[in-house]
A and B are shown apart, each in its own frame.
Chain A
Amino acid sequence: MAFDILESGLATTVQDTGRPGYYSVGIPQSGSMDQLSAEIANACVGNTVNEAVLECTYIGPVLRTTAPAVVAVTGAPVDVFVNGEPREQWSRLELAADDVMSFGIIKGGTRYYLAVAGGIDVPVVLGSRSTYVLGVIGGFEGRTLKAGDLVPVGTAVETDGLSAVLSGLRPKYLKQLDVRVLVGLYDHRLTDVGLETLLTATWKLTSVADRMGLRYSGPEVEWKPREQPFGAGSDPSNIVDAGYAVGSIQIPGGKEPIVLHRDAVSGGGYAMVATVISADMDLLARSSPGTATRFRAVTMDEALAARSELAAVRAAIWS
């Protein structure tokens, strides 16, 4: 079984839970940006959490099945069509050979996920099938899909999977968002007013948002002036190039904070001042440009509690 790609969509890639362990040589974790939605899609078709899915960005692909298949679409709200007929999102769909699947205009959020029983069966590279476009590794030939690609699908294990997802498990796509952060790394280099601005202002997600990171517009954030140490750049927001935490927030020149996401550059010369907690990374992945975002400071204990809560939600999908 394979998907014959008739139209590519805007930026459709193969993703899974990611490629940890190679960040020290600049290869990012990658993987589905919205892990929870991808996981639910896999659960719907009877896969494990580890199978690779297609991540669709704004405009999805048009594809044809070469054999019968079981699929599910989760994530950002979008109309799903099979041979032009509307079908349910967040639900297990049975396709026949030569069925054509397509998508309408996205109604919120940014990314939706197409899982197929058996998973997308591209070669495993460094322990993952995820696409890292910049490094041209993983996924389908290390790139976004193109019309004419024949994307292989693995053999499905005979399981039922979820027939439909409880509505309480479905993420919400709001135009206002609170994202929890742990202040740290180089926060001491901001003035008190600067840090206050970061944590109280409402930040608008700009259109400069992709798998590497998301840029926000809002007020200027004040850095403490100082004599720069040897090897750091000349701006007070510069540091001697260091490793970047995934989820960390940098504010180059005090303007337009950038939050790094799953295809992050692994290091650079801008000071990071806070980091989005692991439980809230999926929220960023679901944000669309214009989303009014606040960064709310929490403690490490609160971050760990939120992490446990999310783990419980994920466990509930599989129970």
Chain B
Amino acid sequence: MTEPTTLEHAARYTWGGDEFLFVEIDEAMSLRANFTSNAMAAHLAADGVAGVIDICPANASLLVRFDPDILPHRELEKRVRRIEREVEGVAHPTLATRVVEVPVWYDDPYTGATGARFRKGHQRPEGNDLDFAAEENNLASAGEFIERHHSSPWLVSMVGFVAGLPFMFQLVPEHEQLEVPKYLSPRTDTPALSVGHGGCFACIYSVRGAGGYQMFGIAAAPIFDPARRLPDFSDFMVFFKPGDIVKFKPIDESEYLRIQAEVDEGSFTYRQASVVFDLELALKDPAAHNRQILEALNGV
């Protein structure tokens, strides 16, 4: 990828009131900035500092909530700055993570119907969000866009907005990334498990609700399970973590219904495998790195 070998400048530290420290790693999105944010979050969590309440790594920044009665803000800043230097000093950054296969019914009737309800005021009132996305990316058809969407893996760069919603960054060189503007005016409704896209980010809506991302399809299985009914949720009600790698798998209606039946009877599990994400290799030779990651899913 066309990224510098290090970030050009030090992170920016600023305060969100008396309970939040905000660290902007970079103004622009990049794999390296995201990697730094996640690495800093992991270090801070491992430190187990009393008074740290929430550690929220995001796309290119880090938000930390703290209790100033226990941990003075200057002390927290000092610690996080030290962690930033430690993370910068790592010569060969890697992340032990997992790759997960997410079955998606692209061009499905559920997101299709919702998209149609909000067509008025859309950038492209004729057709659907997929047609718009294909056009925006100079692709011949919606089918070609779908192919580009699932053929390479995505990195979960942030979890949030609402409970358990993953933001994903496509692991291809910047000029190959799919980019689609958000809706001009947000929708008041989005089906749960819609696969969305805004700017350079993909997302999966974990719950039904408002949303501004273009909709391309629907994931077949839950990613947020408050009742923790499915085996993948036995530890926690949220499936995704920052640093997870996602491979979308296109499915048709019959496969969607088969997975739905498995979800209903409580037996569905995601296909997944442990992998090591190697930042330098991912930047230098993304195709080879992606191959390596996806091979881990073979035989699972």
B222 at the interface (CB under 8 A from A): no
B28 at the interface (CB under 8 A from A): yes
A303 at the interface (CB under 8 A from B): yes
B27 at the interface (CB under 8 A from A): yes
Question: Do the beta carbons of B20 and A25 come within 8 Å of each other?
Answer: no
- CB neighbors of A among B226-247 (8 A): 226, 237-238, 240-242
Q: Which of A36-44, A161-169, A230-238, A283-291 contacts B (4 or more CB under 8 A)?
A: A230-238
Question: Do the beta carbons of B56 and A24 come within 8 Å of each other?
Answer: yes
Q: How far is the CB of B209 from chain A (nearest CB, A)?
A: 6
Question: Do the beta carbons of B19 and A266 come within 8 Å of each other?
Answer: no
Q: How far is the CB of B104 from chain A (nearest CB, A)?
A: 21
Q: Which of A89-97, A101-109, A113-121, A267-275 contacts B (4 or more CB under 8 A)?
A: A267-275
A300 at the interface (CB under 8 A from B): yes
A244 to B15, CA, bound (A): 11
Across-interface contacts of B240 in A (CB, < 8 A): 25
A165 to B51, CA, bound (A): 32
A245 at the interface (CB under 8 A from B): yes
For B226, give its contact among A23, A26, A137, A276 (CB under 8 Å): A137
Residue of B nearest to A182 (CB): B17
A157 at the interface (CB under 8 A from B): no
A27 at the interface (CB under 8 A from B): yes
Question: Do the beta carbons of B20 and A246 come within 8 Å of each other?
Answer: yes
A307 to B67, CA, bound (A): 11
A242 at the interface (CB under 8 A from B): yes
Q: Number of A residues contacting the other chain (C-beta, 8 Å)?
A: 51
Question: Do the beta carbons of B15 and A300 come within 8 Å of each other?
Answer: yes
Question: Do the beta carbons of B19 and A267 come within 8 Å of each other?
Answer: no
A239 to B165, CA, bound (A): 19
B55 at the interface (CB under 8 A from A): yes
Interface string of B35-77 (1 = CB under 8 A from A): 0000001000000000001111111111101001100010000
- CB neighbors of B among A275-319 (8 A): 275-278, 300, 303-304, 307, 311
A184 at the interface (CB under 8 A from B): yes
Across-interface contacts of B161 in A (CB, < 8 A): 26, 241, 265-268
Most buried by A among B22, B62, B182, B209: B22
Q: Which 10 A-B pairs have the closest CB atoms?
A: A245-B16, A231-B29, A243-B63, A275-B17, A229-B28, A135-B163, A266-B160, A245-B20, A26-B160, A23-B54
Between-chain CB contacts (< 8 Å), 19 pairs: A20-B65, A23-B65, A26-B159, A26-B161, A26-B163, A135-B164, A142-B226, A182-B15, A184-B22, A185-B15, A185-B22, A229-B27, A230-B28, A240-B28, A240-B60, A245-B65, A248-B17, A276-B17, A277-B17
11 additional contacts (CB under 8 A) given A185-B16, A240-B59: A26-B163, A233-B182, A240-B27, A242-B24, A247-B19, A265-B160, A267-B160, A277-B18, A300-B15, A307-B68, A311-B69
The interface of chain A, by Cβ under 8 A from chain B, is: 20-27, 125-126, 132, 134-137, 142, 181-182, 184-185, 229-234, 239-248, 265-269, 272, 275-278, 300, 303-304, 307, 311
